Amino acid sequence: MGLFDFQMDLFGAPKADSEAARDSGISPNCSANGLVRFHYSPLLKKSIRCKGVFLFGHPEVVLPEYMKSADFAPARELAAEWAEHAVRRKTAKNKAITKDLVTRFWAVVDQVLVDRGEKPVESKGRIPPICPLGNYHNLSQVLAAINETYFDGTLSCRITWSNRVGGLSFHSVRKDPITGEDFHLISISRGYDAKNCPFYAVAGVVYHECLHIVVPVETRGGRRIVHGREFRQRERHYIYYDEWIKWHKEVLPSNIRAMRRGKPL
Ligand SMILES: [Zn+2]
């Protein structure tokens, strides 16, 4: 790009790409603070580029064409922050910041794609996207019902189908790639997303993982006890406890074996 072109960009009238973008006050052409300009390339898909523009002190970012829409605005903000660091001197601290920002950027991109029902950009995201919508069960609805019935709606957590084939259900604490804040994440084994899985069974495992958020881990003689007495007592409060345990023991293992052989459930 020549200097002339650049000045045209810099001093030309701002281009609004759609009515929606103009109404929401989000421009796809520059960062919220107005310092980093965005360009789009139909050639890029799984990468982004930054160009240092030393004359004016702020970099420009080239993004894949599909990131022009309003739902990518938070991702573009991370890309702008990334570019501001990427053009600086490569100190160890700065390298670590750049690496963290690029990881968070792809995590947000993958999340937008998954929320739209599209495929994430494979291999780029080291933070797997949160995907509560399955083929047979919508985990957001299951969680909402359990939260309302057993926790008075006070639980604050997110839920996803596990991204590992044949994986188990578990609870973890993750950092939000946009805000950097910690949140509880419940991951449910895909063995429960099956035609032969009744609602009471998937609700049972969601209730179990919810209990891990509210019942603290006990320590006895230096040993960590995750399913202690209080946990087991509260677990039995679930009205379909016996039915769920029966399904968990008798049906889930065969579902997981089928998944590992690549069979649809
Ligand atoms: Zn457990």
pLDDT per position as a tens digit, 130-167: 999 999 999 999 999 999 999 999 999 999 999 777 77
State the pLDDT at residue 127.
Answer: 81
Compute, in angstroms, the gap from residue 140 CA to the centroid of ligand 1.
19
Residue-range domains of the chain with CATH: 3-115 (no CATH), 139-260 (3.30.2010)
Which of the four pLDDT bands, split at 50, 70 and 90, describes residue 249?
very high
pLDDT per position as a tens digit, 193-205: 999 999 999 999 9
Compute, in angstroms, the gap from residue 106 CA to the centroid of ligand 1.
30
Compute, in angstroms, the gap from residue 261 CA to the centroid of ligand 1.
26
Q: Average of pLDDT values for 235-261?
A: 95
The DSSP annotation for 158-194 comes to EEEE-SSTTPPPEEEEEE-TTT--EEEEEEE-GGGSS
Compute, in angstroms, the gap from residue 103 CA to the centroid of ligand 1.
29
Compute, in angstroms, the gap from residue 224 CA to the centroid of ligand 1.
13
pLDDT per position as a tens digit, 81-109: 999 998 888 899 999 999 999 999 999 99
Compute, in angstroms, the gap from residue 189 CA to the centroid of ligand 1.
12
Query: How many residues does the structure list for the chain?
Result: 265
pLDDT per position as a tens digit, 55-86: 567 889 999 999 999 999 999 999 999 999 98
Compute, in angstroms, the gap from residue 169 CA to the centroid of ligand 1.
8
Compute, in angstroms, the gap from residue 126 CA to the centroid of ligand 1.
25
- Three-class SS of residue 244? helix
Compute, in angstroms, the gap from residue 239 CA to the centroid of ligand 1.
18
CB-CB neighbours of 79 under 10 Å: 27
Question: Phi, psi at residue 126, to the nearest 5°?
Answer: -90, -10
Percent of the chain with pLDDT over 90: 65
User: Is it the case that residue 38 has pLDDT exceeding 70?
Assistant: yes
State the pLDDT at residue 124.
Answer: 64
